[in-house]
Structures are given as C-alpha cells and as structure tokens.
C-alpha cells in the first residue's frame, strides 16, 4: 500500500541505459508545468549534494554488491528526506530519473544480489513511500547499445556486457509483474514521437495530464 504523499505526484522513469528516459523527462516536465504544476526534476543516485557524492563513488569505485546497494539506499534516504518528500507535501510533481526499481533491476537481477535484503532496505528507507506511476522504457539491450554507441569513458555500469542488461531488463519485467498498478510499460523501440505519445497516454489515463 502506498503511503499518502501530500497532494503531489511521484513519477519515476525506468529502463536500461540508452532506453530513452532522459529524452522524455524534459517533455513530461514541460507538459506538467503547462498544466499548472510545480515540477521538480531529479535523479538517482543523486538529487542532493550528499547523494551526488555517493553517486560518483557508486559509478566509479570498485565495490561489492552489498556495499553498492547500501550506498544507493543511503543516497535514496537523503534524497527522500531532503527533496522528494517535501516536494510531494507541497503538491509538486516529482519526476525522478530512476528510483528503487533500478536497484532491484541492476543490483538484484544484474548483479544477482539477494532480493530479500533489497526488500528490507526498501522498507527501511522508504517506509512505504512508492512512486505513483513508473514509466518503464522497455527496449531490447541490443537496440539500447546501438543507440548509445561507444562511450568514451564508461562507468561501472556502462562497461558491463550486453548480457548484464538482458538480466536488468528481466528485473524490470519482474517488478512490473509485482506492481502492475503503478507500472506503465512503454514500447521504447518506436520513434521518439510514438514513445512520447505512449507517455502522454499513460499519464492521461491516470488523470495526471
């Protein structure tokens, strides 16, 4: 059950690297602002000074999957307390580039880390707070890799092989099965316009736009 989050609306954007999330956050922000909402755009790991410091460690420093998960949830705790929850209390629309579904997909399915431990951390850190809507940009790993092309200095995730992202995609599918109400699957293999249309449809059908 979702915890009440004021009058705000919490929308998360999920998918493997290169699926097209960033391209649609900006459009969604503009549409919500035009509808008269205060819009807070943010990202994970990150969104506060402390969480951005933790992000840089997670993306660049070698560590095991438990350390990685703890740092990500520590960043999330700060982000929720400092930015997300106050914005939702004010009635803002919070658009977050990645959230806890990424942790289940990347650390849980990608790295094979214990899903039960992640569930405990989720409960501990979020105390029931969940996104109202999660837009999952679903794109085959092969297509995402083609869109991204070679990255000059890949981080610890970008340097993973295609098989890793295939596992991550399975993780998203599993999360959608677990939370069918808040998830909207977007077919991200279509043109940017067709993807934007699906995003708008997903938000309209939930009364958000």
Instruction: Pick out the residues of the known binding site.
Output: 15-22
- Among the candidate windows 103-111, 131-139, 174-182, 192-200, which touches ligand TYD by CB under 6 A? 103-111
Query: CA–CA separation, 48 vs 78, rounded Å?
Result: 7
- Residues contributing to the annotated binding site for ATP: 15-22
- The answer to whether 78 and 51 have CB atoms below 8 angstroms apart is yes
**Is residue 106 at the binding interface for ligand TYD, with CB under 6 A as the rule?**
yes
> What per-residue string of b and e applies to 152-172 under the rule 16 or more CB within 10 Å gives b?
eeeeebeebeeebbebbbebb
List the structure tokens of 56.
């840089």
Q: Which helix (H) or strand (E) holds 196?
A: helix 192-205
Q: How far is the CB of 205 from ligand TYD (least distance, A)?
A: 26
- Read off the DSSP letter of residue 41: E
Binding-site string for ligand TYD from residue 55 to residue 94, where x marks contact by CB under 6 A and - marks none: -----------------x----------------------
**Is residue 151 at the binding interface for ligand ADP, with CB under 6 A as the rule?**
no
**Is residue 196 at the binding interface for ligand ADP, with CB under 6 A as the rule?**
no
**Is residue 45 at the binding interface for ligand TYD, with CB under 6 A as the rule?**
yes
Q: Which residue blocks in 16-111 are alpha helix, DSSP H?
A: 21-34, 49-60, 65-79, 85-90, 100-102
List the structure tokens of 19.
């699926």
- Positive or negative CA dihedral for 78, 83, 87, 93? negative
**Is residue 108 at the binding interface for ligand TYD, with CB under 6 A as the rule?**
no
Of ligand TYD, ligand ADP, none, which one does residue 106 interact with (CB within 5 to 8 Å by kind)? ligand TYD
Q: How far is the CB of 102 from ligand TYD (least distance, A)?
A: 4
Per CB under 6 A, residues contacting ligand ADP are 15, 17-23, 147-148, 191-192, 195
Per CB under 6 A, residues contacting ligand TYD are 17, 43-45, 72, 97-98, 102-103, 106-107, 157
């Amino acid at each position: 059950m979702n915890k009440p989050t004021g009058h705000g609306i919490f929308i998360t954007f999920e998918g493997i690297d290169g699926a097209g999330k960033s391209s649609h956050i900006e459009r969604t922000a503009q549409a919500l602002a035009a509808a008269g909402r205060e819009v807070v755009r943010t990202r994970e790991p990150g969104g506060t000074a402390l969480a951005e410091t933790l992000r840089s460690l997670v993306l660049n420093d070698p560590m095991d999957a438990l350390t990685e998960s703890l740092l990500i949830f520590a960043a999330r705790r700060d982000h929720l307390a400092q930015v997300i929850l106050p914005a939702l209390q004010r009635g803002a629309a919070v658009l977050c580039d990645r959230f806890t579904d990424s942790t289940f997909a990347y650390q849980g399915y990608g790295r094979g880390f214990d899903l039960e431990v992640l569930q405990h951390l989720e409960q501990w850190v979020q105390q029931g707070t969940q996104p109202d809507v999660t837009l999952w940009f679903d794109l085959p790993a092969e297509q995402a890799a083609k869109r991204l092309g070679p990255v000059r200095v890949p981080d610890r995730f970008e340097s993973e092989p295609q098989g890793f992202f295939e596992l991550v995609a399975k993780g998203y599918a599993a999360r959608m099965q677990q939370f069918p109400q808040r998830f909207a699957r977007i077919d991200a293999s279509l043109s940017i316009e067709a993807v934007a249309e699906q995003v708008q449809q997903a938000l309209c059908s939930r009364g958000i736009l």
